[in-house]
Amino acid sequence: MPEPEMPGGGPAEAQWFTGEPDRTRARWGSGGDRVRMVGVNDEEPAAGGAADRPGSAAQPDPGLEAGHAAAQDSDLEAGHAAGQDTDLEAAHDAAQDPDLEAGHAARQDVAVPVGTEGVTLLGATEVRRLAAELDLRPTKSLGQNFVHDANTVRRIASVSKLDQSGHVLEIGPGLGSLTLALLEVSATVTAVEIDSRLADLLPGTVARHALSRAGDLTVITADALAIRGSDIPGAPTALVANLPYNVAVPVLLHLLAELPSLRRVVVMVQAEVADRLVAPPGSRTYGSPSVKTAWYGTAKRAGAIGRSVFWPVPGVDSALVGFDRHPVPRTGDRRSVFAVIDAAFAQRRKTLRAALSGWAGSPVRAEQLLRAADVDPGLRGEMLDIDAFVRIAHARLTADAQVLA
Which residues lie near ligand SAM (CB under 6 A)? 142-147, 171-175, 177-178, 192-195, 198, 223-225, 242, 244, 247
Angstrom distances, CA of residue 386 to CA of 281, 288, 378: 9, 10, 18
Rounded to a whole number of angstroms, the minimum distance from the CB of residue 177 to ligand SAM is 4
What is the 8-class DSSP label of residue 327? S
Rounded to a whole number of angstroms, the minimum distance from the CB of residue 243 to ligand SAM is 7
Angstrom distances, CA of residue 63 to CA of 123, 142, 174, 231, 327: 34, 15, 20, 16, 36
CA nearest neighbour of 184 among 157, 223, 220 = 157
Phi, psi at 35, each rounded to 5°: -135, 135
Closest CB to ligand SAM among 156 and 393?
Answer: 156
Closest CB to ligand SAM among 42 and 61?
Answer: 61
Closest CB to ligand SAM among 183 and 341?
Answer: 183
CA distance 132 to 9: 11
Closest CB to ligand SAM among 195 and 382?
Answer: 195
Rounded to a whole number of angstroms, the minimum distance from the CB of residue 335 to ligand SAM is 22
Rounded to a whole number of angstroms, the minimum distance from the CB of residue 381 to ligand SAM is 28
Closest CB to ligand SAM among 177 and 218?
Answer: 177
Rounded to a whole number of angstroms, the minimum distance from the CB of residue 314 to ligand SAM is 8
Position closest to ligand SAM via CB? 172
Q: Are 134 and 237 in contact (CB under 8 A)?
A: no
Question: Vertex 401, ends 396 and 404: CA angle to 5°?
Answer: 130
Closest CB to ligand SAM among 17 and 24?
Answer: 17
Burial of 112 (0-12, 13-18, 19+ CB in 10 A): exposed
The set of residues, in sequence order, having a beta carbon less than 8 Å from that of 392 and lying 6+ positions away, is: 340, 356, 369, 370, 373, 375
Rounded to a whole number of angstroms, the minimum distance from the CB of residue 242 to ligand SAM is 3
